Amino acid sequence: MLNLSLKQLAEKLASKQVSSVEMTQEFLNRIKALNPVYNAFVTVNEEATLSQAKFADETIAAGKGTLLTGVPIAHKDIFCAKSWRTTCGSKMLSNFVSPYDAHVIERFGQAGTVNLGKTNMDEFAMGSSNETSHFGPVKNPWDVNAVPGGSSGGSAAAVAARLCPAATGTDTGGSIRQPAALCGISGIKPTYGLVSRYGMIAFASSLDQGGPMARSAEDLALMLNVMVGFDARDSTSLQREEENYARTLDQPLKGLKVGLPKEYFAEGLSADVERAVQAAIDEYRKLGAEMVEISLPNTRLSIPVYYVLAPAEASSNLSRYDGVRYGYRAPEYTDLMDMYKKTRAQGFGTEVKRRIMIGAYVLSHGYYDAYYLQAQKIRRLIAQDFTDAFKQCDIIMGPTAPTTAFNLGEKGADPIQMYLSDIYTIAVNLAGLPGMSIPAGFGDDGRPVGLQIIGNYFSEAKMLNVAHQYQLATDWHQRKPQGI
C-alpha cells in the first residue's frame, strides 16, 4: 500500500478493499518508525488524524466522497491548520497553534483528504538545504548524509521515504522543484496567484506560491485539481474558470517544440547532471518533440535580483513577530523596546536574521533607488526573456539544480554557494511562471537528478501532459531509495 499512487489508493478506498482508518494507520506506523531517521515531520497528531480518517470512511459509506476522500497526505508546516501547531520551522512560532485553516488546508478538507501531519522545512522557507529549521535538519532518504533540498525538504523526504503518498509545498525561489529534484520525486510550482496564499505564512509575498509534491505527474494533477481556486481573502488570487488538470495527460507529444536555454547548460552545471538531463531530452525526441535552442540572457542576474527583492519583502513580512501578539516572547526584558530586541534576537535563526538585515538595508533611505528599484527593473527584463522565448517554443526544459544533493553541512558556511543551488529555478518565480521538476536519472554519486519543465502562464495542464508522457516511457519516478 505504501508504494501505491494517490489514484491507486483512492481506487482501493472507493472499492472498499481497505478503509481510510486502516490506510492512515499504516502510514502513521511508518512515520513512527522512520521519522526519527529522516526528521521529515515536525508535528504528528495521531488522534486528530485518525478522527479525520474515520469521518472520511463515514463519508464514503454515505456515498458522498470525492476522488481523494480518505487518502492521507502531509502538509508543509507553513500552512496554518486549525488546532494544529504551525511552526514554519521557527522557534518564533514553536508554540503557535493556529485558530484557522489556510485556504489550501480548507480545500483538501473539503475534498475529504486526511492530514497525516506537518512536515519540516527551512525556517520561514529561507534555505536551499533544509538545514535552517529550528527542529533540526531533514535527511535525504537516498543518502542520510545528504540534504533533501529546501525549503520543502520535509515534504520531499516524506514522499521519497513513503511516509506519505503526497504532500503540499511552497516555492518562493525553487522550494518545491529543488527538493523534488534532490529527493527523486515530482513537484510543480503553479502560475503565481493560481493557489491562494491565505493562511500560508508569508516569506516574500510577490514570489510565494503553494503547490503539490508527489511521485508522479498524474498524482500532481489530482492534487492540483483540489488546490487551485479563487479565494477572495487573497488579493493576488486569480479568478479563473476551474479546470481538470488531468484531462490532457494522455495527449501525444508529436510536434511539441521544446526550448533549451543555452544559459542552463553552461559553466556551473555538473557533468553527471548534464548527462542525465541530455538523456531525458533524447527521450523526448523519441516521443516526437522538436528541440529549439533559445536564450534567456538575463538568467545570470536572477540570483542577485532575487536576493534584493525576497529579503526586502521578508523584512517587511517578518516585522509582525515582535513577541506581543503571538509566538515566542523573550522570558526576561527590562522594557518594551528591550522585549522586542530580545524576542527577535532569540526567536529567529541566523539565516532569517541575515535576510531581514539585507532587506532592511535595500529598503532604507538612500539605498532604495540603488538596489530595490533597480532589481524591480531587471525583474521585468527577466520576465520579458521568457515572453520572447515562448514565441519560439511551447515548453522550456533544463536541469532543476546544478548538482545532485550535497552533503549536510557542506555549504552552510558559504551562503553564496548555497544560494547558487537555486540558479535555474529563481527566474521562474521572478516572472510568475509555472515550473516543475520530475526525476530524470541519477548522478555519479547515486543521488537523483531532476529535469525542470517550465511553461507559459496557465499552461500547467500542458506541463503535466509533457511530464506524464515521459513517465510512461521511463521508470525514474518509480525508483525508490535502497531499503525503502
Q: What confidence score (pLDDT) does residue 287 get?
A: 98
Cell numbers given for 454:
517550465
Q: Is residue 95 part of a domain?
A: yes
Model confidence band, residue 417 (pLDDT cutoffs 50, 70, 90) = confident
* Full residue range of the structural domain in which residue 13 is found: 6-255+393-478
Which of 330, 350, 378 is the endpoint of a domain? 378
Same structural domain, 342 and 421: no
Catalytic residue among 98, 151, 421, 459: 151
Catalytic residue among 90, 175, 196, 315: 175
Maximum distance among all Cα pairs of the chain, rounded to whole angstroms = 70
Tell the burial category of 53 from Cβ atoms under 10 Å away from its Cβ (0-12, 13-18, 19+). Answer: buried
Same structural domain, 152 and 85: yes
Q: What confidence score (pLDDT) does residue 314 get?
A: 97
DSSP per-residue letters across 271-302:
HHHHHHHHHHHHHHHHTT-EEEEE--TTGGGH
Q: Is residue 272 part of a domain?
A: no
**Total domains present in the chain:** 2
Q: Is residue 284 part of a domain?
A: no
**Type of residue found at 372:** Y
* Three-point CA angle 455, 457, 462, nearest 5°: 45
133-167 pLDDT, tens digit per residue, is: 999 999 999 999 999 999 999 999 999 999 999 99
Beta bridge partners of 76: 119
355-407 pLDDT, tens digit per residue, is: 999 999 999 988 999 999 999 999 999 999 999 999 999 999 999 999 999 99
Q: What confidence score (pLDDT) does residue 60 get?
A: 95
Q: Is residue 10 part of a domain?
A: yes
Q: What confidence score (pLDDT) does residue 325 get?
A: 87
Indicate if 152 belongs to the active site: no
Catalytic residue among 5, 7, 19, 76: 76
Give percent above pLDDT 70 in the chain. 100
Encode 262-281: b = buried (16+ Cβ within 10 Å), e = exposed. ebbbeeebbebbbebbeebb
5-55 pLDDT, tens digit per residue, is: 999 999 999 999 999 999 999 999 999 999 999 999 999 999 999 999 999
Beta bridge partners of 442: 448
Q: What confidence score (pLDDT) does residue 414 get?
A: 83
State the average pLDDT over residues 318-333.
94
Which of 313, 345, 378 is the endpoint of a domain? 378
Q: Is residue 273 part of a domain?
A: no
pLDDT surpasses 90 at 483 = no
Same structural domain, 251 and 308: no
Q: Is residue 215 part of a domain?
A: yes
The dihedrals phi and psi of 40, each to the nearest 5 degrees, come to -80, -25
Report the 10 Å Cβ neighbour count for 164: 26
pLDDT surpasses 90 at 412 = no
DSSP per-residue letters across 194-261:
SS--TTBPPSSTTT--EEEEESSHHHHHHHHHHH----TTSTT--------TTTTTT---TT-EEEEE
Under DSSP, the state recorded for 373 is: I
Same structural domain, 374 and 399: no
Same structural domain, 320 and 207: no
Neighbour order of strands in the sheet with 210-214 = 41-43, 114-119, 72-76, 166-170, 210-214, 186-189, 435-442, 448-455, 395-399, 257-261, 290-294
Same structural domain, 372 and 413: no
Indicate if 411 belongs to the active site: no
Same structural domain, 368 and 402: no
Same structural domain, 124 and 181: yes
Beta bridge partners of 169: 211
* N-to-C CA span, the chain: 13
Q: Is residue 387 part of a domain?
A: no
pLDDT surpasses 90 at 419 = no
CATH number of the domain to which 456 belongs = 3.90.1300.10
Same structural domain, 65 and 129: yes
Same structural domain, 121 and 28: yes
> Within 13 A of 89's CA, how many CA atoms are on the CB side?
36
Same structural domain, 355 and 446: no
Indicate if 295 belongs to the active site: no
Sheet strands (E) in 361-409:
395-399
Same structural domain, 337 and 420: no
Q: Is residue 94 part of a domain?
A: yes
The dihedrals phi and psi of 236, each to the nearest 5 degrees, come to -100, 5
Phi-psi region of 404 (alpha: psi -120 to 50; beta: other; left: phi over 0): beta
> Within 13 A of 162's CA, how many CA atoms are on the CB side?
18
Rounded mean pLDDT of the chain? Answer: 96
Which of 353, 378, 403 is the endpoint of a domain? 378
Cell numbers given for 129:
538545504
Q: What confidence score (pLDDT) does residue 420 get?
A: 84
Beta-carbon contacts of residue 109 (< 8 Å; ≥ 6 apart): 101
224-242 pLDDT, tens digit per residue, is: 999 999 999 999 999 999 8
pTM here is 0.97
